[in-house]
Structure 1
């Protein structure tokens, strides 16, 4: 008996530990989604408390309400209030004939016409280059309501939970001797949402209805079906959609109502299936043509033929396999608190571990095989006017959404980003020509949508060229998987982006090549002289850093594919001519080409450190002067910030090898920038903080962005490729270095535990991914590396850097492993 009791105690502890790592749980339902909240995204309630489900295209959030359960649904391709089906040039959103005035616009930059008045850089950019086409916004889809007739005052033992490991949401409670349960999931294998309501020692009497916020819609019932058809309004060509619901009442009675809802009486097991599609297809410029009604019916027929149990089993197998690819296990004692209580208690290792695993689940749920990437809100939106349109912000946010898919071992989630980039590159060719007179390559501005919008933003102060930033993710995907077929597929996009910058770069007064018009997202300079909206500039540091990154990636890609030798050589000639990185009067990395930085500036964007992260060209191990300057910049910017900016700072400090500082920001992100359902808030809700936070944790534990250019060198500073060299004539200037073709064969350096926080003295992580085609498991004790296992997913070579020592080159074949200990 004692052995059995001890086993039970140990099992309970292990069970709690496992649940604490992956399960969100609550003892109350989410707040109702009120009209006030739906009309104002800053109102608190449903969106901050309901729990999310998703298969990458179809998403849902359930309230777990007792008297009425509200399930909000989304389709990630459903947008509204913009245009589709224009001719190829117009669909890009570009203002016609901008190129005729481009040099006139550039002239005011050269003359330094700051501010926002007539004839200023902003005014001229707005007048001649900025789009007048509406971007539109991500749209809500439908709402399902299931009324139970239960009185919340009679309920006991209520629990509402979401298991991120299985992707199953649950609700259960008692009313007297009756026991009621619910299950919810969105299946990726079968493209269906399924729900199950059960009762023991009681019966279910349900009213099941559905509606949509869009004015044009119709709801009918037919046998066991509820059919909703509707339209989302567009400036041109409305989006049409259909949702099918099928209700299996089991042994209960199913009653059809003329008003389009169904009633269930006397049931003990009710299963509800939902399929839904819209008419969107990712074909530029039409974006139309899906047989959404047939697809909805076919998927419903498949789901009904399989049955609930098989659907659930396939779903759990699918999600758990992806969740198991990377597992973080930190050392802590589970609190037993509900998730909202855990957040209210403040920072804890338990919360940090849960946040990591849950955010990976959000990635799986919002990005799979749909043809568009996750947006500012991932997949979930219930507002007709969502925050910042829930669009694609190309000045960090959409890129941040995909940093963690590589390091946290979810590479299949990257496909929607690739598909979307192909559309942008096609559309962006028209913008390059029509806005800027650049005949080669493609361009994209600050904001995008699912209809190929690539034009400059409607505000001239937000003039930006985003192609280099967006292409960084494309090449990083190759760096991690080493798939030459993939590289061949995306090379035209990389080359097109590089071709645009080759023609777009222009010599400045000092003779160096700069990007302009531009800005440094989303900051201002000389505000006392010209106002807080004085943002347009030339040669912003981040632009110059990203152009170097793009050109280097393009050289490597062309080398690996053995093509475009002349183009490679032209990029190598241009790189040293790029405007240098500069250290300013306060010892900081200059944000602008002139020394306009202020030590009191605590702006949330720190784009001029993009070469530190997500770039790879500033490093404490290779560029000490620039690293010291980056440290000063970070000190100036301060410790309090928005959700996504806190996540980015976590990554910055990890790259600066300061684990405790990185952990400080991750603590703040998880405890002070998280709603009750652990959605990140900017405020309000933006999902990039969730994804950026995971990226930061991965970089605390493993980094692999440096390359061994000299494999005979014994120290990392001598071995690693260095992208910036100090100008001997002007010591505070750092000139970009052109790589030669041998960089394409240089092994990546796997840096183990580069920024381990002292608070995480013991733990392990399984399945981190490293560039070069490797997966790494790491365990540590007493703040020191215990063991690392490096697994090769393809033939490759690497070097290990740990405890200040650099290994020789290690070569592995596909499937082989190397164990590393100290």
Structure 2
């Protein structure tokens, strides 16, 4: 298929119509972006009286909306429409308002006690006995403070009285390009339509019911799963006030539902509901807030009641049509920045049937676009990032607390924002990390005796919890990985003001590790206590709970990454020369990466790897992805060791791990293996609504999978420090070099001073799978501040266009050929290959 054929297929894809704005206005929907169903969601939440609803139900089949803070899901129920409402800042079962040190959740540890713990590590006290590393870490280091959990907000129910047995032509859909949800069906002579959206510009959830050839008779009521919530109805409004229970200082919240039913009768009921009779058109607008503010250590102070009143007044004054237009303009503008157009023939199948099959390019294309939509929904301008379930949670006791895991999950949530051209979505991650750096300074000092910098443990919440996990076997550091995300965002945007903003966080994390690193028996510097998430070693001797270790490869790789980034940032900003020299002096002393007895990259400094280990975490390949220090093009032996590790671990795993493996194989330049994993993710690790399969669900798999697609098509993590080099091996900076005395050891390299100005290398179609022989992508972002469009046919690049969002230099690597250094001014573009 050539490029002209692709354009023909694009026209053929423009299928399907749905009602919008009013009954007479019709808009064309691009079906590549639309999730479609011919039945309502399974609403098991209505029947579940307590605990988590089991099996595939509402969360896995309802369709999500969100504006980054406020979220909703709609079921499309015929008799009862169920909207689950969430506020990403609403937590419970924790503490806030403590003094600054206590608010971090940290444990005050005497220096002698910390040394007792470290001594157990040096002496190899494995297992779980009282004198073991795990037991002593639990006794002395682990927090006893409550982390709490993310909490549901409210439920909005809209009853129609319609009999499902009488319904014809049912359709439920969600357009990820516009953020519009729709439901339509017929009963007798009547046609009924619903529209839903969650507005970022006006911070409200909006629903509109219309009827043709019939009238609407609706009952609207709202509830909360939090005990003691008060609901009242008056005029055309329902007000709900409640509290989320905390161990200290309950979180207060409020919701207002405003109804416009035209001339129809709207009657308040004693139970706080509203009855609507004889309407043709009903608009429902919902606003809700809690009292949370990201102010350490109080975490409160928002005027949530006044904000509710102000927001609902402004939204209702605008009216439905204006609200909808501003919403569609907002979402479509951001979604349209990046478009993937793979070559497939539309099947006409509903989304649930696509998922239940064995996979298809059609599903893979939809999954990528939907993942970008989800990113917009759950991360925009809120002060906290997306959590394990993004934004959507129905449970008072959610799985894994629906919290922030720093051993991959919260970081994976943000891998795709820059490559997929949604950089604004990164803002909440930055705001949250600022709080962690403030809180973590107390944890660094109180628990580890480190006077400078900050520390972060495994689990986080919205109240600045940075302490070590309550289980000693889960003691870890997380600041270095969070900082990797922070600096990588700068690599994409080249925003110097942003670099100024995050530099204190980078430096603080580096300062912590300068003091926390300690010499091991061979004299090299290692991180400990630590683990390799969430894996065990010497299992036969000490059981699967034997997890605590020293100098785990992932920690060592991330410390090198952090020190290198901090050196570059300080060079660019021209500050802290003395501290930069300290980092440069320490880098060669870090524990090297090692190739073990099976040819694998070792997970620990000791050769403990088991080739039959198929653990879902492959943390010791973090230098391959999301890091940049292992590459088939520059580190041949480490690349081969990474291949052995990947073969040992296998292909099938949980959803988020499958997403990571897609990225790994893309970085290994094996497009067919990456595609095999991505196909498995989209067809075998996706629920009917495409949420990632990890009961009840985890959103990181969606984001990891989309990041993997970006990696298949464009990679830009390598830097050219030698402008005169003709090959990529000679041009690129390499972070590890072979130790001449121990050939299976690879020691860290002090970054070349030229790295701060080194152009990024844009590798075009590095892992294009044979299953995608022809296609087109627009608006991928590359590091260095560039956007890239590409068309390919018969597995080969046809044309690429590189646009500069900022003035800068880059090199192109395509067809095994490295270009000269290319300069573009802001706003300029370049076609590649150049026209002859």
- TM-score, normalised with respect to structure 1: 0.98
Q: Residue 22 in 1 paired to residue 12 in 2? A: no
Q: Is the 8 A contact 1:642 1:683 kept in 2?
A: no
Q: Which residue of 2 aligns with 1:741?
A: 753
Structure 1 residue ranges without an equivalent (≥5) = 1-7
| C-alpha distance in structure 1 between counterparts of 2:31 and 2:87, whole Å | 30
| C-alpha distance in structure 1 between counterparts of 2:261 and 2:765, whole Å | 54
Q: Is the 8 A contact 1:643 1:683 kept in 2?
A: no
**Alignment RMSD:** 1.4
| C-alpha distance in structure 1 between counterparts of 2:714 and 2:10, whole Å | 32
Q: Which residue of 1 aligns with 2:579?
A: 567
Q: Which residue of 2 aligns with 1:310?
A: 322
Q: Which residue of 2 aligns with 1:730?
A: 742
Q: Residue 402 in 1 paired to residue 414 in 2? A: yes
| C-alpha distance in structure 2 between counterparts of 1:666 and 1:740, whole Å | 36
User: Among 443, 462, 465, which residue is 2:477 paired with?
Assistant: 465
| CA offsets 1:157-188 (integer angstroms, 9 cap, x no match) | 00000000000000000001100000000000
Deviation of 1:228 after TM superposition, in Å, equals 0.1
Q: Is the 8 A contact 1:37 1:45 kept in 2?
A: no
Q: Which residue of 1 aligns with 2:612?
A: 600
Deviation of 1:794 after TM superposition, in Å, equals 0.3
SS of the residue 2:548 aligns to = coil
User: Among 31, 40, 43, which residue is 2:42 paired with?
Assistant: 31
Q: Which residue of 1 aligns with 2:701?
A: 689
Q: Is the 8 A contact 2:150 2:401 kept in 1?
A: yes
User: Among 68, 87, 90, which residue is 1:78 paired with?
Assistant: 90
| C-alpha distance in structure 2 between counterparts of 1:100 and 1:88, whole Å | 24
Q: Which residue of 2 aligns with 1:185?
A: 197
Instruction: Write out aligned runs for 1:194-233 (5 A).
Output: 194-233=206-245
| C-alpha distance in structure 2 between counterparts of 1:574 and 1:518, whole Å | 19
Q: Which residue of 2 aligns with 1:442?
A: 454
User: Among 672, 676, 690, which residue is 1:664 paired with?
Assistant: 676
Deviation of 1:346 after TM superposition, in Å, equals 2.0
Deviation of 1:99 after TM superposition, in Å, equals 4.0
Change (3 A) 1:41 1:105: farther
Q: Residue 375 in 1 paired to residue 387 in 2? A: yes
Q: Residue 154 in 1 paired to residue 166 in 2? A: yes
Deviation of 1:14 after TM superposition, in Å, equals 3.0
Q: Which residue of 2 aligns with 1:757?
A: 769
Q: Which residue of 1 aligns with 2:249?
A: 237
| C-alpha distance in structure 1 between counterparts of 2:509 and 2:710, whole Å | 29
Q: Residue 653 in 1 paired to residue 669 in 2? A: no
Q: Which residue of 1 aligns with 2:588?
A: 576
| C-alpha distance in structure 1 between counterparts of 2:384 and 2:344, whole Å | 38
| CA offsets 1:291-329 (integer angstroms, 9 cap, x no match) | 000000000111011111000000000000010011100
Q: Is the 8 A contact 2:42 2:57 kept in 1?
A: yes
SS of the residue 2:537 aligns to = coil
Q: Is the 8 A contact 2:9 2:343 kept in 1?
A: no
Deviation of 1:289 after TM superposition, in Å, equals 0.3
Q: Is the 8 A contact 1:57 1:366 kept in 2?
A: yes
Q: Which residue of 2 aligns with 1:790?
A: 802
- TM-score, normalised with respect to structure 2: 0.96
SS of the residue 2:554 aligns to = helix
Q: Which residue of 2 aligns with 1:145?
A: 157
Deviation of 1:258 after TM superposition, in Å, equals 1.9
| CA offsets 1:490-546 (integer angstroms, 9 cap, x no match) | 100000000000000000000000000000000000010011100000000000000
Q: Is the 8 A contact 2:194 2:209 kept in 1?
A: yes
Deviation of 1:625 after TM superposition, in Å, equals 0.2
| C-alpha distance in structure 1 between counterparts of 2:48 and 2:279, whole Å | 35
Q: Which residue of 2 aligns with 1:770?
A: 782
Q: Which residue of 2 aligns with 1:324?
A: 336
Change (3 A) 1:569 1:698: same
| CA offsets 1:17-47 (integer angstroms, 9 cap, x no match) | 9633100010000011244386225432000
Q: Is the 8 A contact 1:242 1:296 kept in 2?
A: yes
Q: Which residue of 2 aligns with 1:517?
A: 529
User: Among 818, 823, 827, which residue is 1:815 paired with?
Assistant: 827
| CA offsets 1:62-101 (integer angstroms, 9 cap, x no match) | 0010011100000000001010110000000001235441
Q: Is the 8 A contact 2:570 2:580 kept in 1?
A: yes
Q: Residue 635 in 1 paired to residue 647 in 2? A: yes
Change (3 A) 1:615 1:522: same
Q: Residue 356 in 1 paired to residue 368 in 2? A: yes
Change (3 A) 1:764 1:169: same
User: Among 113, 118, 131, which residue is 1:106 paired with?
Assistant: 118
| C-alpha distance in structure 1 between counterparts of 2:331 and 2:263, whole Å | 31
Q: Is the 8 A contact 1:785 1:821 kept in 2?
A: no
Q: Residue 130 in 1 paired to residue 145 in 2? A: no
Deviation of 1:235 after TM superposition, in Å, equals 0.4
Q: Residue 334 in 1 paired to residue 346 in 2? A: yes
| C-alpha distance in structure 2 between counterparts of 1:372 and 1:553, whole Å | 24
Q: Is the 8 A contact 1:30 1:45 kept in 2?
A: yes
Change (3 A) 1:177 1:224: same
Q: Which residue of 2 aligns with 1:260?
A: 272
Q: Is the 8 A contact 1:407 1:770 kept in 2?
A: yes
| C-alpha distance in structure 1 between counterparts of 2:349 and 2:452, whole Å | 58
SS of the residue 1:288 aligns to = coil
| C-alpha distance in structure 1 between counterparts of 2:265 and 2:237, whole Å | 14
Q: Residue 59 in 1 paired to residue 71 in 2? A: yes
Q: Is the 8 A contact 2:60 2:696 kept in 1?
A: no
Q: Which residue of 2 aligns with 1:425?
A: 437
